[in-house]
Structure 1
Amino acid sequence: MTTGGGVQHPPLKDEQQFDVIVVGSGAGALLAAIRASDEGLKTLVVEKTALVGGTSALSGGGIWIPDNHDMPKAGLRDSIEVAFGYVKACAQGLASDDRVLAYVETARHMARYLAQIGVPYRCMPHYSDYYPNVQGALPGGRTMDPLDFNAARLGLEGLALLRPTNPGQLIFGRMHINAFQARSMLARERKAKWMLMGIMARYFLDYPWRSKTRRDRRLTGGQALVGGLLAALRQRKIALWLDTPMESLTTDAGRVTGVVVRKDGQALRLQARKAVILGAGGFERNQAMREQYLPQPTNQAWTSTPPDANTGDTIRAGAAVGGKLHLMAHTWGVPTLDVPKEEKFRPLFVERSLPGCMVVNARGERFLNESGPYPEFQQAMYANHAKTGGAIPAWIVFDATFRANYPMGPLMPATAVPDSRLRKSWLGKVYWKGETLPELAAEIGVDAAGLVASAARMTEFARTGKDLEFDRGGNVFDRYYGDVNVKPNPNLAPIQKGPFYAIRLFPGDIGTKGGLLTDRDARVLDEAGKVIEGLYCVGNNSASVMGPAYPGAGSTLGPAMTFAYRAIAAIQGKPLALERTELLQGAPRVGQAA
């Protein structure tokens, strides 16, 4: 038996043997462990950090599930054929067609399994796919949001193991809201104020729980997802080793047979009789790997993922035993901003869609549709920076009217938290302010004439309802997070009332997309496209089935858990057959083993 480095080791002791060893504790890893246990397999989960959940726990928790079981309840229709065509177009030939088909066919079955193990989801009828102009896109229904989870099911001990969410996903840094409530409040629907009052009343009146912990009893989003999975893991008494990084894979005659981990300061060799499943995230926290693979400039500080994880250890370990790497130049991009004393940069997902703001480069010029999908936002920053040298960082600019009515990053609406109540240290670090646009331009080092001209054009676009430069608000996706009270375009409002504000944006990410290339059953492939026996990989540890694109909200977590679901079936010798193989006729394959 050898490690990936070829070092000989003596046989392992019986107590160090498991059927399946899962590396990582995000959604894909936990689902794999739970499913393996349900199949009667002795399973171990090893996690590098002291907390469970990885990036999944920080996420919105959404999963992108075509033709899911909840769509008919909302009067929506979908089909595997339409979904396959849409994802295939998005993947642009950078994911094998049979892997795409495996995903769109199996995702709905995985979603039903989640409900069976106590992690139910519901579809979001009005949340559009990210590319509404691509054939096969739907105006809503494929993205699903987890139902709220009662943290009491975990108990205080279990809750202490769950990685906390981002401050930006909580009301006043304390109270959870789900995706439906967040949309209602951002869009300023009539019911929003009453909804907010109800959320606050529920939290503050929950004296028994608040006397024990500051964390909300009601978990939503990624906290609900990982909380539910952790509860299912604990219910099954699956072994979970925290603070246990994997150092290498062991092999025998080309088959992966186990792992070497470091636990309590000691190196331990663990045998996996059936399989090792890698689900430990991407490499976005590894600066050297970022500089090797990603577009420049790049900085690990810009990412919004946990600072103590996602350093690419398991990607490198898989490559060391022959695994092929794929899509390494791609990330799940999102603009991010720096808030002092927070452990990581904040992602800016939705506030940029609200009317009365614009994003500019150093010339004061707009260069993108502010309301578009966040991966395209990040890519536009790189493209414009290559052209002008002034889009990294970029600036999101808004006026006093916007400031009064809407949140922006850590700034709550001024009607709730006026400037006088903001931290004094934030001025000039988190946000910049000027009484006039030329004053603001001087503060942030942007061309004043360009900024004034851009604001004037945006004000005119707001009047007509048509953005003649980037068609902001011109599709159903853009309008989802617009203000329903603003006419004629919910994403456009004048930028003309001082004082004016700006926040600095960086081309961040919520993870990398590249990793080990896998087949339709999550088996890792080598450079020749052959299966490496005993080695499986899911989530951002693997190359994305979506190729370079982001078809809809939940395109990370959905595939992570779906391929984990398929992996366990394959490990048990009962691989899930493809149902609609006629859709693959004549289709090229990317690294697919025979």
Structure 2
Amino acid sequence: MAEQEYDLIVVGSGAGALLGAIRAQEQGLKTLLVEKASLFGGTSALSGGGIWIPVNYDQARAGIKDDLETAFGYMKRCVRGMATDDRVLAYVETANKMAEYLRQIGIPYRAMTKYADYYPHIEGAKPGGRTMDPVDFNAAKLGLKALETMRSGSTGSMLFGKMSINAFEAHSMLSRELKSRFTIVGIMLKYFLDYPWRNKTKRDRRMAGGQALIAGLLAAANKAGVEMWCNTPLKELVQDASGRVTGVIVEINGQSAQINAKRGVMLAAGGFERNQEMRDQYLNKPTRAEWTATPVDGNTGDAHRAGQAVGAQLHLMDWSWGVPTMDVPKEPAFRGIFVERSLPGCMVVNAKGQRFLNESGPYPEFQQAMLAEHAQGNGGVPAWIVFDAGFRAQNPMGPLMPGSAVPDSKLRRSWLNNVYWKGETLEDLAAQIGVDAAGLKDSARKMTEYAQSGKDLDFDRGGNVFDRYYGDPRLKNPNLGPIEKGPFYAMRLWPGEIGTKGGLLTDREARVLDTGGKVVEGLYCVGNNSASVMGPAYAGAGSTLGPAMTFAFRAVADMKGQPLPLENPHLLSKAI
């Protein structure tokens, strides 16, 4: 294939990649996007689609007060010096500009007024309003042909594995709001009555979460005229004599092709969680690629290695966006357990049958606690989430819908002793899953007592606004329920992730830095391909997608020779 030339080449097709490509094309830069997989959307298509945007445009409508200095202080405390202050400030200043741009290109967001920042104990945290959720998207606006090129969402995030449900509806259902039953009935009626659409495709017309975001971005990319190629893996970066990155070598139909880039190359190809060799090299042990919740055909660190080959510096390589995961047969990837573990009436135990964490806490800390518990010899990998018949009847857990809707007799027979374990007594259950029976009985007794008193004396579960978001507000403590009524159930949890957060170190314009701290000219990097601006933390829901798109937005400005200046540089010298 003959050499071709563009102004910008974007590697990857998740949210950061697509927004960067759209913005560049609209700014007059001829842009090519190349994707390794056969479908566009990356891990972003499987995500909840949320973005963490402090001081955002929708807060005023909701009556939420926020300010840049408070947000900067909170994020800086979360980051703990593992990202430079100017990058943190650049993010806080630019995030809302990026969100406004999303709205301009047809992807409006709304503030989640009750969804708290992940660390309520850190000064500057807000009890809600910084995380934003995408407005539902009508798939017909993308079109059936383009829809076929887009990665499907996770069945675990859909009602009965088929119908889209957004974050507001999910919260209403899980917190047992009175309106939730009507909401669910409405969703089902709209889906089943939409014969014209369902006769054309199995995909729901109404798209929510990450599906809404990616569908909206693909529609905007098509409208802007971005050229996009799938099945085009990156092989290496091309440099000129001065060391500037001037293009890429990709594989097309089994042949190598060089494509030149006049303004730059933007790497946005995700993390390395599907590469076992890199996991063994960098991540805490034990670590297995199959435990991850991300697509099986991507996130193999190709762009990390390509960046290293041109001298890029790596940072935060031993950190990940951790989440406990569950193996569900016939699902392509392990399923992340984000919210169910917060519901009252369940607990998580180690091999000794003992609780070792706050089940309702942020999922990265949950994963880290599993690894730490295992390292101490207590059997935290796998861990077990345990609940009783009362919980089973009322609540979902992983692939199990509430027993009142789908009783055990209707579950796949192959799931018993594979996806879930069941015992008439706690002793019976403990024997089946290989945990200490006395420890399990004692943990259940304590949990029942804590539910009655409303206070978790061990881990203070339900003791903060973040914990309580996914709980039952009718209870003394929304996150605590008894575990006393047989039969009893257990499901196995693994220390998975929704991506690695280590990658190429960048500056505040998303320019890649070399091992000496100098800019690698012509090379930009965003998303999980880059070292996260969040450092070791997860400031709030949307801390992956928000920075990915925000730094792509800033990178395009830099390519145009119009870098976005810091508007409040005085904050950099202020004690936090």
CA deviation after TM superposition for structure 1 residue 587, in Å: 8.0
Query: Match of 2:336?
Result: 347
Question: Is it true that 1:92 corresponds to 2:80 in the alignment?
Answer: yes
**Paired residue secondary structure (1:385):** helix
Which one of 357, 367, 372 corresponds to residue 378 of structure 1? 367
CA deviation after TM superposition for structure 1 residue 586, in Å: 7.0
Which one of 514, 529, 536 corresponds to residue 548 of structure 1? 536
Find the aligned partners of 1:161 and 1:221 in 2 and give their Cα distance: 18
Which letter maps to 2:413?
Answer: K
Find the aligned partners of 2:372 and 2:162 in 1 and give their Cα distance: 37
Once the two structures are superposed, what CA deviation does each residue of 1:120-176 show, in whole Å capped at 9, x if it has no partner? Answer: 100000000000000000000000000000000111111111101111101111000
Find the aligned partners of 1:162 and 1:193 in 2 and give their Cα distance: 31
Which one of 550, 553, 568 corresponds to residue 580 of structure 1? 568
Which letter maps to 2:420?
Answer: Y
Which one of 417, 438, 457 corresponds to residue 468 of structure 1? 457
Query: Match of 1:457?
Result: 446
Query: Match of 1:215?
Result: 203
Which letter maps to 1:494?
Answer: P
**Paired residue secondary structure (1:139):** coil
**1:97/1:587 contact within 8 Å kept:** no
Which one of 482, 489, 500 corresponds to residue 512 of structure 1? 500
CA deviation after TM superposition for structure 1 residue 444, in Å: 0.2
**Paired residue secondary structure (1:52):** coil
Find the aligned partners of 2:17 and 2:555 in 1 and give their Cα distance: 11
**2:131/2:542 contact within 8 Å kept:** yes
Which letter maps to 1:64?
Answer: W
Query: Match of 2:390?
Result: 401
Query: Match of 2:289?
Result: 300
Which letter maps to 1:499?
Answer: P
- Identical-residue share of aligned pairs (%): 68
**1:330/1:512 contact within 8 Å kept:** yes
Which letter maps to 1:328?
Answer: M
Would you identify which runs of 4 or more consecutive aligned residues in structure 1 move more than 3 Å?
Answer: none
Gaps of 5+ in 1: 1-11, 589-594
Query: Match of 1:392?
Result: 381
Find the aligned partners of 1:58 and 1:508 in 2 and give their Cα distance: 15
Question: Is it true that 1:239 corresponds to 2:227 in the alignment?
Answer: yes
Query: Match of 2:67?
Result: 79
Find the aligned partners of 1:26 and 1:304 in 2 and give their Cα distance: 15
Which letter maps to 1:249?
Answer: L
Find the aligned partners of 2:98 and 2:331 in 1 and give their Cα distance: 35
Structure-to-structure mapping, 1:258-277, within 5 angstroms: 258-277=247-266
**Paired residue secondary structure (2:279):** helix
Question: Is it true that 1:114 corresponds to 2:99 in the alignment?
Answer: no
**Paired residue secondary structure (1:548):** coil
**2:25/2:225 contact within 8 Å kept:** no
Once the two structures are superposed, what CA deviation does each residue of 1:340-366 show, in whole Å capped at 9, x if it has no partner? Answer: 111110000000000000000000000
CA deviation after TM superposition for structure 1 residue 389, in Å: 3.8
Once the two structures are superposed, what CA deviation does each residue of 1:260-303 show, in whole Å capped at 9, x if it has no partner? Answer: 00011110000000000000000000000000000000000000
Coordinate RMSD, CA, aligned:
1.0
Query: Match of 2:350?
Result: 361
**2:138/2:206 contact within 8 Å kept:** yes
Aligned residues: 575
Query: Match of 1:533?
Result: 521
Find the aligned partners of 1:180 and 1:389 in 2 and give their Cα distance: 38
**Paired residue secondary structure (2:148):** helix
**2:422/2:490 contact within 8 Å kept:** yes
**1:176/1:220 contact within 8 Å kept:** yes
**Paired residue secondary structure (1:74):** coil
Structure-to-structure mapping, 1:38-57, within 5 angstroms: 38-57=26-45
**Paired residue secondary structure (2:61):** helix
CA deviation after TM superposition for structure 1 residue 484, in Å: 2.1
**Paired residue secondary structure (1:488):** coil
Which letter maps to 1:290?
Answer: R
Which one of 263, 266, 271 corresponds to residue 282 of structure 1? 271
**Paired residue secondary structure (2:521):** strand
Query: Match of 2:550?
Result: 562
CA deviation after TM superposition for structure 1 residue 446, in Å: 0.5
Query: Match of 1:4?
Result: none
Find the aligned partners of 2:373 and 2:288 in 1 and give their Cα distance: 18
Once the two structures are superposed, what CA deviation does each residue of 1:293-350 show, in whole Å capped at 9, x if it has no partner? Answer: 0000000000000000000000110011000000000000000000011111000000
TM-score w.r.t. length of structure 2? 0.99
**2:499/2:528 contact within 8 Å kept:** yes
Find the aligned partners of 1:525 and 1:69 in 2 and give their Cα distance: 32
Query: Match of 2:479?
Result: 491
Find the aligned partners of 2:375 and 2:271 in 1 and give their Cα distance: 25
CA deviation after TM superposition for structure 1 residue 388, in Å: 2.4
**Paired residue secondary structure (2:146):** helix
Find the aligned partners of 1:457 and 1:196 in 2 and give their Cα distance: 35
Once the two structures are superposed, what CA deviation does each residue of 1:208-235 show, in whole Å capped at 9, x if it has no partner? Answer: 0011111100000000000000000111
Gaps of 5+ in 2: none
Which letter maps to 1:48?
Answer: K
Which letter maps to 1:75?
Answer: G
Which letter maps to 2:277?
Answer: A
Structure-to-structure mapping, 1:121-160, within 5 angstroms: 121-160=109-148
Once the two structures are superposed, what CA deviation does each residue of 1:90-128 show, in whole Å capped at 9, x if it has no partner? Answer: 001000000000000000000000000011100000000
Find the aligned partners of 2:149 and 2:120 in 1 and give their Cα distance: 39
Which one of 191, 212, 236 corresponds to residue 224 of structure 1? 212
Find the aligned partners of 1:18 and 1:335 in 2 and give their Cα distance: 42
**Paired residue secondary structure (1:496):** coil
Find the aligned partners of 2:269 and 2:484 in 1 and give their Cα distance: 47
**1:57/1:163 contact within 8 Å kept:** yes
Query: Match of 1:6?
Result: none
Which one of 14, 21, 34 corresponds to residue 9 of structure 2? 21
Query: Match of 2:509?
Result: 521
**Paired residue secondary structure (1:102):** helix
Find the aligned partners of 2:391 and 2:574 in 1 and give their Cα distance: 52
Find the aligned partners of 1:47 and 1:237 in 2 and give their Cα distance: 16
Find the aligned partners of 1:586 and 1:532 in 2 and give their Cα distance: 30
Find the aligned partners of 2:438 and 2:300 in 1 and give their Cα distance: 43
Query: Match of 1:176?
Result: 164
**Paired residue secondary structure (2:222):** helix
Find the aligned partners of 2:326 and 2:481 in 1 and give their Cα distance: 23
Question: Is it true that 1:198 corresponds to 2:186 in the alignment?
Answer: yes
Query: Match of 1:188?
Result: 176
Which letter maps to 2:321?
Answer: W
**Paired residue secondary structure (2:266):** strand
Query: Match of 1:591?
Result: none
